[in-house]
Amino acid sequence: MLSSSLSFSHSRSPRVVCFFLFLFLFLLSFFCAHKPVIYLFAGQMNVLVTGGSGYLGQFLIERLLTLKEVNAVHYTCSSESSKLPENVHEQHKRRLVCHACDFETGSGIEECVEKASKGEYLAGDKNLKLVVNCTALSQPKQCEENEEKACKVNVPTYLCQVLMRKYEGSEQKVPLLVHMSTDQVLCGSYSNTREDDTRENAFEPINVYGRSKKYAETYLLKNYDQNALIILRSSVITGPQPPFRRVDRPLFLDFIAKTCPPNTQGRNGEGEENEEVKDENAVEFWTDEFRNPVSRIDLTEAIVYCFEIFVGLRRKRDVSMFLFEEEGERSNRTPIYHAGGPERLSRYDMVTIFCNTMRASKKRAKPAVKSKTTSFCIASMVRTPADISMDSTKFMKILRNGVQLKSFQEQVLDSTTVYLSAVLGNSR
Ligand SMILES: NC(=O)c1ccc[n+]([C@@H]2O[C@H](COP(=O)([O-])OP(=O)(O)OC[C@H]3O[C@@H](n4cnc5c(N)ncnc54)[C@H](OP(=O)(O)O)[C@@H]3O)[C@@H](O)[C@H]2O)c1
C-alpha cells in the first residue's frame, strides 16, 4: 500500500512541478509586460516628508527607506540649495525624490503632491499614503522677527487644501497626515500637562513660535480628515547629527558637549556633582525651565507604527483600539498626542545627567534661576515658557505600543557621536 502510494506520488510529481513552473512563467511574462521583474517585489505606496531636509525629517527619510512596502520617499525643502547631497540620491536612485516648495506662498506644493501620488510602475494617481509635516520656521527668534511669515510657514494651509481637494469625492482615504507640533503651545505655568488638561489657559502660548504652531493645530483639526490625522506635540528632540547632512544650528546636546569637556582629572562624573564652579565665564543653565527631552528614535518609530496601522500592515493591539476609528464608532478622540520623553528635567538637570553619563566636567556649567535673573541679556531674549513638561502616557501607550520611552541617559548615549565630535573639535 505504502509502496504503491509512493510510486503514485513519484509519477505525479514531475507533472505537478511542470504545471507550477509553467504557471509561474506565464504569470511572470504577464507582469513583465507591464513592469520590470525587479518592481514585482517593490513597494506599492509612496510617502512624503515635508521639511525632509531638516533635523527630524532626515531621520524619518532614513527610516522610511527601510520599509519594503514603500515604493518611493518624496520630501520637500525650501529651495534646490537645501536638497540632500547627490550621493544620497544616487544611493537610493528612484526611491528618493526631492521637491523644492515654498510653504509661505504655497508654490510647488500641488505639483509635489501630484508627483508623490504617482509612480512609474504604480497604477492610478492616489498612491500617496503618508505625509509627515516637518516643515517649520522652527527657531523662536526667527518667528519673533517675522510673525506673518512664521504663521504662513508653520500653518500648513496649502498642503492641507491640496490633499483634501485631491481626495474630495474619491472612494479612497486621504493619506495619513502626521503633523509635528511642539510643547511650546503650552503656557508654561504647569507641570506634566496632559492633552485634556483643563487648568486655566493651559494651552495659551506665550511667544510667536508657540502661537503659530497652535494655529496650525486648530486649522488641521478643523480642515483635515480627523480619521487620518495625528498631531505630535514634541519636546526638545535629541539625537546625533542627522544622517545625510548636518543642520546649521547647534543641537542642544552639542551645546552641552562643547560646554562640558571630558574630565581630565580622571574623576568620575558622580564625583563632580558637588564640584565648586571655578570658571568665572561659566555658562548658566536654568534650573527653573522644564522640558521632557525626547529621543528621535521614539518619534520616528511612533510615526512608522501609525503608518503601518493606517495602511493595514499591522494589526492594532488592544491599547491602540481607538487609532483611526471609522465614523460612527468615534468616541471623543482628539488626534493630539503629547510626545515628550519620560522625565521632566530642567536645563541644569540635563547637564548633570550628561556629565555623569559621559564622565564630563561640569566646571563650566553653573546653575541659574531664570525667573530671578534680571540681566540685559535676558531682556533681549525671546520669551520662553518656564514649565512645559508634558505627561506623554497616551503617546507611549498608543503610538509606541506600550514601549517605554527612552530616558535622557539613553538619549545621551544615543548621541555619543555628538560628544566625540565636540571633543575632537576642541582638541584640534
Ligand atoms: N527640533 C526640535 O527639538 C523640535 C522640538 C519640538 C518640535 N519640533 C517640531 O518638529 C518639526 C521638525 O523640526 P526640525 O528640528 O526637524 O526643524 P528644522 O531642522 O528647522 O527643519 C525645518 C524644515 O522646514 C523647511 N522650511 C523652512 N521654511 C520653509 C519654507 N518657507 N518653505 C518650505 N520649507 C521650509 C526647511 O527647509 P530648508 O532645509 O530648505 O530650510 C527644513 O526642511 C517642526 O515642526 C518643529 O516645530 C522640533
DSSP assignment string, 295-360: EHHHHHHHHHHHHHHHTTSSPPPGGGTTTTPPTTS--S---EEEE--S--EEHHHHHHHHHHHHTB
pLDDT of residue 41: 47
- Distance in Å, CA 104 to ligand 1 centroid: 13
Residue 11 has a pLDDT of 53
Q: Which residues of 339-370 are buried (b: 16+ CB within 10 A; e: fewer)?
A: bbbbbbbbbbbbbbbbbbbbebbbbbbbbbeb
The finding on whether 252 has its CB within 6 A of some atom of ligand 1 is no
DSSP string covering 201-217:
TTT--SSHHHHHHHHHH
Q: How many distinct structural domains can be found in the chain?
A: 1
From first to last of its 428 residues, the chain has per-residue pLDDT tens of 444 444 444 556 777 777 777 787 777 655 555 544 444 445 789 999 999 999 999 999 999 999 999 999 999 999 999 999 999 999 998 899 999 999 999 999 999 999 999 998 889 999 999 999 999 999 999 999 999 999 999 999 999 999 999 999 999 999 999 999 999 999 999 999 999 999 999 999 999 999 999 999 999 999 999 999 999 999 999 999 999 999 988 898 989 988 998 776 655 444 444 555 556 789 999 999 999 999 999 999 999 999 999 998 887 766 666 787 655 455 567 899 999 999 999 999 999 999 999 999 999 999 999 888 766 566 668 899 999 999 999 999 999 988 999 999 999 999 876 566 666 655 44
Q: Cell triple for residue 203?
A: 494651552
- pLDDT value, residue 9: 47
pLDDT in tens, 125-168: 999 999 999 999 999 999 999 999 999 999 999 999 999 999 99
Contact 134 CB / ligand 1 (< 6 Å) = yes
**Does the C-beta of 146 come closer than 6 Å to ligand 1?**
no
Q: What local confidence, expressed as pLDDT, does residue 61 receive?
A: 98
For ligand 1, say whether the CB of 153 is within 6 Å of any of its atoms. yes
Cβ of 182 closer than 6 Å to ligand 1, yes or no, is yes
Measured between alpha carbons, how far is 236 from 148 in angstroms, rounded to an integer?
24
Residue 166, SS3 per DSSP: helix
Structural domain includes residue 380: no
Q: How far apart are CA 301 and CA 327, in angstroms?
A: 27
Enclosing H/E stretch for 77: strand 70-77
pLDDT score for 7: 45
Query: What is the reported pTM?
Result: 0.88
Q: Which of 49, 61, 135, 214 to mutate to test the pocket of ligand 1 (most atoms within 8 A of CB)?
A: 135
Q: How far is the CA of 134 from the centre of ligand 1 (A)?
A: 5
Nearest to 297 by CA among 125, 415, 135: 415
Residue 61 structural domain: 45-239+295-342+390-403
Residue 314 confidence (pLDDT) = 83
Identify the CATH number of the domain in which residue 169 sits: 3.40.50.720
Is 275 within the bounds of a domain?
Answer: no
Does residue 112 fall inside a structural domain?
yes
Cβ of 399 less than 6 Å from ligand 1? no
- Does residue 150 lie in a domain region? yes
Ligand 1, residue 82: give the atom nearest the CA.
Answer: 40
Whether residue 307 lies inside any domain: the answer is: yes
Is residue 164, in this structure, part of any structural domain at all? yes
pLDDT at 19: 78
Q: Does some domain include residue 38? A: no
Assess if residue 408 is contained within a domain: no
